[in-house]
Amino acid sequence: MAIQPVLRLGNPKLREVAEKYPVSEIGDTNFFALLEDLKDTLQHQGGIGLAATQIGVSQRVAIIDIPGGPTRYGDLDTMPLTVFVNPEIEILDPEVAGYWEGCLSVPGLRGYVERPQHIMVRYLDETATPQALELTGFPATVFQHEFDHLDGRLYIDHIIDNSLLSFEEEFEQFIAPGLQAPQE
């Protein structure tokens, strides 16, 4: 449909708790228009995930598309673009690991966030079929990051030590060279 502007830190809509998407409306014209907007916007921005709240739609819908291959987070498995409606996260193991996160709604910054690394996600897909997905490592972090948006939270809310927040240019110059990909 169309590339939508991504709301940025400071916009009060990013802090709203999104409403559950009506199951009876999954698959209708408005639903598929929202998905097209999310896909077009994500592709244009070059991210790996986008929540409806980030484009001003206060509904519990998000998409995630992990290209896979070698990254600074290690060698990742590909996750093709997947739609998540009304997702819920269950923490299976509270042990945490940290990653330097970035966000389309907080452009130009990276921050070190620790999150649980073993979760179960339950959600409805784009056909309203219930699904479950068990995730570990960096993908578990990605999902928690994206679904936080649906609860009005941003990754910066999870930063424990503010000295671990950096502009992207300084991150690339001073921090990234010293990082090693985590061992799984």
Compute and round to an integer the Cα radius of gyration of the chain. Answer: 16
Q: What residue ranges in 40-143 does DSSP mark as E strands?
A: 49-51, 61-66, 69-71, 74-76, 79-103, 106-124, 130-136
Torsion angle (degrees, nearest 10) of CA 27, 28, 32, 34: -120
Residue 33 CA to residue 180 CA, distance in Å, equals: 40
Asked whether 150 and 63 are in contact (CB, 8 A), the reply is no
Q: Enter the DSSP assignment of 173.
A: I
Which residue out of 16, 146, 170, 184 is catalytically annotated? 146
User: Distance from first CA to last CA of the chain, Å, rounded?
Assistant: 39
**Residues contacting 13, CB < 8 A, separation 6+:** 7, 53, 56, 58
Task: Based on the residue annotation, tell me whether 146 is a catalytic residue of this protein.
Answer: yes
**Residues contacting 46, CB < 8 A, separation 6+:** none
- Which residues form the catalytic set? 146
